[in-house]
Amino acid sequence: MHKGSNPFTSTKNKLLKKPFINNQIRAKEVRVIDETGKQLGLFNLPEALKLARERNLDLIQVTEKVEPPICKIMEYGKFLYSLQKKEKEARHKMTGEIKGIRFGFNISSHDLETKINQAENFLKKGNKVRVEMVLRGREKALAEFAKGKIQSFLEGLGKLLPIKIERELKREPRGYTIIVTKQ
């Protein structure tokens, strides 16, 4: 932990812009949506706050750009949780995940087809695929044969859907890796 940092604040919450709630709302009139999602209409702010207090919930300003602003009656903690969840999903969709496919030197043609189908499913979901061929012992001396296996994997995958090589074939201590994405 860094010197002077507070263990109770997280960096995740700093990314979110917290909305105005209850007495922080400055508008004179607001459009109110209840906890079920039903629109209740226009209310002046004191009436809307009273309505939220009667239900033991908070009045949360959902939008700023619209006049009058839209406010929702719900628990503040649940609202923040849903915002964090949406932001996390949006970040996940932007980057995509790297899925790994690993096979050995002596993989049979049928097993290679199975791995190709698995890679196709990952690519269709928008993920990147890291193909890894593990080489052990004397197999490391037969590098050209290993490259041929990876090439046949890429050709088989290329027949199913168009692919783009994100990172070229790279020699690593345990074998070869390559990263592919859908075009």
Q: Please report whether residue 1 resides in a domain.
A: no
Q: Please report whether residue 5 resides in a domain.
A: no
Check residue 10 and give its pLDDT.
Answer: 46
If one compares 107 and 9, the residue with the highest pLDDT of the two is 107
Residue 139 has pLDDT above 70, yes or no: yes
Residue 74 burial class via C-beta count within 10 angstroms: exposed 0-12, middle 13-18, buried 19 and up: buried
Average pLDDT over residues 80-99: 79
Last residue of a domain, one of 41, 60, 92: 92
How far is residue 74's CA from residue 58's CA, in Å, rounded to a whole number?
5
Residues 67 and 106 in one domain: no
Q: Please report whether residue 6 resides in a domain.
A: no
Q: Please report whether residue 71 resides in a domain.
A: yes
How far is residue 58's CA from residue 22's CA, in Å, rounded to a whole number?
6
Check residue 179 and give its pLDDT.
Answer: 92
Task: Work out the mean pLDDT of the chain and round it to a whole number.
Answer: 83
Check residue 155 and give its pLDDT.
Answer: 93
Check residue 63 and give its pLDDT.
Answer: 84
Average pLDDT over residues 78-82: 87
Check residue 94 and give its pLDDT.
Answer: 62
Check residue 95 and give its pLDDT.
Answer: 62
Residue type, 15: L
Residues 85 and 29 in one domain: yes
Q: Please report whether residue 42 resides in a domain.
A: yes
Average pLDDT over residues 77-93: 82
**SS3 sequence, the chain?**
CCCCCCCCCCHHHHHCCCCCEHHHCCCCEEEEECCCCCEEEEEEHHHHHHHHHHCCCEEEECCCCCCCCEEEEECHHHHHHHHHHHHHHHHHHHHCCEEEEEEECCCCHHHHHHHHHHHHHHHHCCCEEEEEEECCHHHHHCHHHHHHHHHHHHHHHHHHCCEEEEEEEEEECCEEEEEEEEC
Range of the domain at 113: 96-182
Residues 173 and 101 in one domain: yes
Residues 178 and 100 in one domain: yes
Q: Number of structural domains, the chain? A: 2
Q: Please report whether residue 3 resides in a domain.
A: no
- pLDDT, tens digit, for every residue of 7-53? 444 444 445 577 888 888 888 888 888 888 888 888 888 888 888 88
- Tokens matching residue 166: 């994100």
Check residue 82 and give its pLDDT.
Answer: 86
Measured distance between the N- and C-terminal CA atoms of the chain, rounded to whole angstroms: 42
Residues 44 and 118 in one domain: no
Check residue 9 and give its pLDDT.
Answer: 43
- pLDDT, tens digit, for every residue of 150-175? 999 999 999 999 988 888 999 998 89
